[in-house]
Amino acid sequence: MGMGHVRCVSRNKFTMNTAEILSFSSLLLSLVVFIYAYTTNSKRYELTSQYRREVLDWFSQTTIILSSLRAVICDEDGKKDKHNLLCKLSAQIEVGRFFFPNIDKADGLGKEKPLAYQGYRNLVLDFLVYSYRLFKKEDAGDYQHHAEVLQRYFTSYVFELIEPKKFIKETKKHTKKTFNQELSFEDFISREPEIIEMYIRD
């Protein structure tokens, strides 16, 4: 009777130890999964942020060139500046091929060309190519509105790729900070209408 009781106690101790081990293992596994998920999400966010910065740097330089060209084509003495800016725009188009590579529609288009030029040119770059051709015209000054429309489409498609609103949410998720305020000028005026009157008087 005494021996059976000892065996029973030993078996219970073993069972409890096994349960504790399994519980600890489960907890450890959950912790490892959590750390992996957190690390993976953080790494993904870092890579996305880096790519986003590179595209925005390229976009910023390109936009400055486009805006400068729109000013230069109205200047009779701006031919030299126009030439230099067109060279820079051409270079930006070439760099842009690494962000917006040509599209392969499996129809063999451009197979005889070097690799980077095979297929269909990406629409984002098309806006720049058409802008380049427009600015190169002798009467480019007559196409100011066309140049503005092309630039707006260029900005809009890069905007669609970058997804700033989504990125702001992701940034808030990782930093616990909000870097954007949903406030328009109309909202501002409705809150402080006297500010407009002050500027009108001045």
Question: What whole-number percentage of the chain has pLDDT above 90?
Answer: 50
List pLDDT tens digits, range 7-24.
Answer: 554 555 545 567 666 666
Phi and psi of 103, rounded to 5°?
-100, 125
* Residue 42: closest CA among 175, 154, 144, 196: 175
Q: What is the pTM of this model?
A: 0.68
Alpha-carbon gap, residue 82 to 70, rounded angstroms: 9
